Amino acid sequence: MEPSRGAGPAVPPVAAVLPAGGSGERLGGATPKQFCAVQGRPLVSYTVRAMERIDWISNIIVVVSPENIETMKSIIEKYGHKRVTVVKGGITRHRSIFNGLKVFAENEFSSHLLQKPEVVIIHDAVRPFVEEDILSKVVMAAKEHGAAGAIRPLVSTVIASAADGCLDHSLERARYRASEMPQAFLFDIIYEAYQQCTDYDLDYGTECLHLALKYCKTNAKLVEGTADLWKVTYKRDLYAAESIIKESLSQEVCVITDVKEVVSQVGFLLHESLKSQIKVETISTSLSKNDSHLQNILSGQCYNFVCINDKKCAVQETQQLADMLEKSNIPLLYPVVVVLVHLDTSENISFSIGMEEITRMKKFAKEVKKKNILVYGLLIQYKDHLLLQETVNSAAALIMALIKDRNPELTGQLLVA
């Protein structure tokens, strides 16, 4: 999630072309897969984000079908994407990529001609999990060899069928690789290849590296990629993408406790109970203070918060956190979970939180949900201290479930540990 700090070797300024003009037939449904929501945000936005957080990628060209140009422009505006140009796609992937490249060579496809890059990355917009390391590897390889592409071991064996539909022969799997993305090319090579391309290749081809070889006699350098370079093709891939993103958001939690003794004691026990499952930062402060430690955590991209209160006005306290989160822009790209823990330490066990507080919490949760902040209530009540540890362990389990599930339908609800 962190913006890239240019960890890789010095890389020449490059551009990226993201083909996003398909219809997603194999996934099914009315919405093309690149615009399907994952954790509330269109899939294409994750791929654009993966590129824009890398400072040596100077321009990002997203190629979409004519009917989706306005949709793409609104996504760019809503999520604050930078250095992005939207270009009209073609009826095939190769034609879309070619249109994307033309923006650097012909201003027929864009209101303004962009500076031609030395190297251009081509990366399917439905491959959201791409890191700087593989991008810099293919770019540096393309600089040296003219073309480069990520590859992965084959999972299934490749076979050829005879005319009668029976097995003709099978390939020795170890000798072959799956061509994935990102790929990178010296711009002049791949642009020349597309210009020479036959209509057959433009309409039926699936491999840019092949075009560089066929039309420019350039043998691409093959770069071993990581397992997360896969392409979202079927519905199951969208579910997998959702799970991977949820898991990446569930790595850290910030427990905010008031300085009062009983609250900080529960905060400590909760920290101890959670730390075997998730990285825990604990802050003892009143949220009304502009706490520098909390500010540091907010800038560190933490997406989960637990606020422990024994006050009846817990919601107002948590409003401070919601305001800080909104100012930090963290909820813009990813939903933030806030668990509002009410402590009931009274001896007489009665339902300590009145309906008024529950109504206040539901109203608050509904309001901040519009800002992508998911608020859940959790009541920790115990009759005597002997049960405290057991109750805190139960609370920790519920908190982990809420963090991992991030279910918008449960916001405003009160769970009881």
Ligand X SMILES: Nc1ccn([C@@H]2O[C@H](COP(=O)(O)OP(=O)(O)OP(=O)(O)O)[C@@H](O)[C@H]2O)c(=O)n1
Which residues here bind ligand A1H0Z, judged by CB under 6 A?
Answer: 93, 124, 179-181, 206-208, 231, 233
Among 4, 14, 21, 392, binds ligand X (CB under 6 A): 21
| Cα distance between residue 244 and residue 240, in whole Å | 6
Q: Taking CB within 5 to 8 Å according to partner kind, which of ligand X, ligand A1H0Z, none is near residue 179?
A: ligand A1H0Z
Q: Write the DSSP assignment of 289-340 as a string of letters.
A: S--HHHHHHHHTT--EEEEEE-STTHHHHHHHHHHHHHHHTHHHHS-EEEEE
User: Which of these segments, 26-34, 163-171, 220-228, 371-379, binds ligand X (CB under 6 A)?
Assistant: 26-34
Restricting to residues 221-260, name those near ligand X by CB under 6 A.
231, 233
Among 19, 146, 149, 331, binds ligand X (CB under 6 A): 19
With b for 16 or more beta-carbon neighbours within 10 A and e for fewer, the 195-220 pattern comes to eebeeebbeebeebbebbbbbbebeb
| Residue among 280, 269, 320 nearest 302 (CA) | 280
Q: Taking CB within 5 to 8 Å according to partner kind, which of ligand A1H0Z, ligand X, none is near residue 177?
A: none
Q: Is 288 among the residues that bind ligand X (CB under 6 A)?
A: no
With b for 16 or more beta-carbon neighbours within 10 A and e for fewer, the 144-175 pattern comes to ebbbbbbbeeeeeeeeeeeeeeeeeeeeeeee
| Cα distance between residue 62 and residue 147, in whole Å | 21
Compute the least distance from the CB of residue 82 to ligand A1H0Z, in Å: 25
Instruction: Choose between 124 and 258: whose C-beta lies nearer to ligand A1H0Z.
Output: 124
Q: Taking CB within 5 to 8 Å according to partner kind, which of ligand A1H0Z, ligand X, none is near residue 96?
A: ligand X
Instruction: Choose between 208 and 336: whose C-beta lies nearer to ligand A1H0Z.
Output: 208
Q: For residue 20, what are the contacts with CB-CB under 8 A and spacing of at least 6?
A: 34, 44, 62, 63, 64, 68, 72, 89, 96, 125, 126
Per-residue x/- track, 93-132, ligand X (CB under 6 A): x--x---------------------------xxx------
Please give the residue whose beta carbon sits closest to ligand A1H0Z in the complex: 206
Residue 170 DSSP label: E
Restricting to residues 30-49, name those near ligand X by CB under 6 A.
32, 34
Q: Cβ distance 81 to 48 under 8 Å?
A: yes
Partner residues linked to 148 by β-bridges: 184, 221
Per-residue x/- track, 52-71, ligand X (CB under 6 A): -----------x--------
User: Which of these segments, 89-97, 105-113, 268-276, 351-359, binds ligand X (CB under 6 A)?
Assistant: 89-97
Binding site for ligand X (CB under 6 A): 19-26, 32, 34, 63, 89-93, 96, 124-126, 231, 233
